[in-house]
Amino acid sequence: MKKSFIQFPVIALAASAMVLAACSNDEEPTADKKAATEQTSEETPTDNGTEETPEQQPAEPEVERDAGGYIIDQAPATAVKKVDGIVIANKRYPMPGDYAPGESADARAAFAKLNAAAQQAGYTFNAFSTYRSYDRQTELYNNYVAKDGQEAADRYSARPGFSEHQTGLAFDIGETSNPNDYASNRFGETAAGKWLAENAHDYGFIMRYPDGKEEVTGYMYESWHFRYVGNDIATEIYNNDSTLEEYLGVEG
């Protein structure tokens, strides 16, 4: 197992392993999302005995996380976090409630190209959930909390302001002929899901929450959740078996 680029406090590591789905979908979460994945123990990269500790300054201040992986007492966001013009939305970097860009036209156009190529290969995709407003996410999350309690809801639904779907750049993708596998990791096991995982970067999309990157992204594997970042960045992230957090050098 590779060491992750970003080292997390143990509490965050434990918390993130408990958190399941990054995106609450309009659909009920499916049972297979609830399976926990293995956690790897992180190695300590520094020697303790030396007087001079390498200046491995984290770019961001240490933060305490709650059981859901969220920062305790975090002030509401006043701006969207961008690094080199790239929007990042995760548990570390929420969005203001009034951030409402709608679905990205660039992402939609890229998805159309992706789908045209997929059809040549015999698959037809549906982006079954893309842009979701802050208010819509609030409604979804509150419904889940009312139904299952907050602790359980935090495991599969993003809190309002924290869903990447609010950026308009996240596309939940499934095979049109197979809606039963929407928002399920069964999708990743299908030929269509494998095709998408291997080809999405050519159209500017990355699988946002890859398997084994929970400690980096803050979310467990989601074979259906893709994020539009443009071809160059998507290809670099794909080729390096990386994540958006690692590419931008930010925490999840």
Smaller CB separation from Zn ion, 118 or 207:
207
Binding pattern to Zn ion, positions 5-24, x when CB under 5 A?
------------------x-
Burial (CB < 10 A; 0-12, 13-18, 19+), residue 157, is buried
Determine, following the binding rule CB under 5 A, whether residue 225 of this chain makes contact with Zn ion: yes
**Is 166 within 8 Å of 133 (Cβ atoms)?**
yes
Shortest distance (Å) from residue 43 CB to Zn ion:
31
Q: Minimum CB separation from Zn ion for residue 92, in Å? A: 18
Closest to Zn ion by CB, 70 vs 226, is 226
Nearest CA to 204 among 185, 223, 228, 188? Answer: 228
206 and 200 Cβ atoms separated by less than 8 Å: yes
- Cα atoms found within 13 Å of the Cα of residue 230, Cβ hemisphere only: 5
Q: Are 3 and 44 in contact (CB under 8 A)?
A: no
Nearest CB to Zn ion, comparing residues 156 and 247: 156
Using the minimum distance from each CB to Zn ion, give the nearer residue, 19 or 23: 23
Stated as kind and residue range, the H or E segment containing 228 is strand 222-228
- C-alpha 250 chain-centroid distance: 13
Question: Which of 172, 175, 215, 251 touches Zn ion by CB under 5 A?
Answer: 172
| Number of Cβ atoms within 10 Å of the Cβ of 212 | 15
Position 227 contacts Zn ion (CB under 5 A): no
User: Nearest distance from residue 225's CB to Zn ion, in Å?
Assistant: 4
How far, rounded to the nearest angstrom, does the alpha carbon of residue 1 sit from its chain's CA centroid? 20
Quick note: the x/- pattern for Zn ion over 17-56, rule CB under 5 A, is ------x---------------------------------
Token pair recorded at residue 20: 């399941």
Q: Which is nearer to Zn ion, 7 or 157 (CB)?
A: 157
In whole angstroms, what is the distance from residue 103 CA to residue 80 CA? Answer: 16
Count of residues touching Zn ion (by CB under 5 A): 3
103 lines the binding site for Zn ion (CB under 5 A): no
Residue with the closest Cβ to Zn ion?
Answer: 23
Site string for Zn ion, 125-164 (x = CB under 5 A): ----------------------------------------
Decide: helix, strand or coil at residue 86: strand
Smallest separation (angstroms) from Zn ion to the CB of 164: 7
The full length of the chain comes to 252
**Catalytic residue IDs:** 222
Q: Of 1-9, 107-115, 135-143, 221-229, which part binds Zn ion (CB under 5 A)?
A: 221-229
- Which residues are at the interface with Zn ion (CB under 5 A)? 23, 172, 225
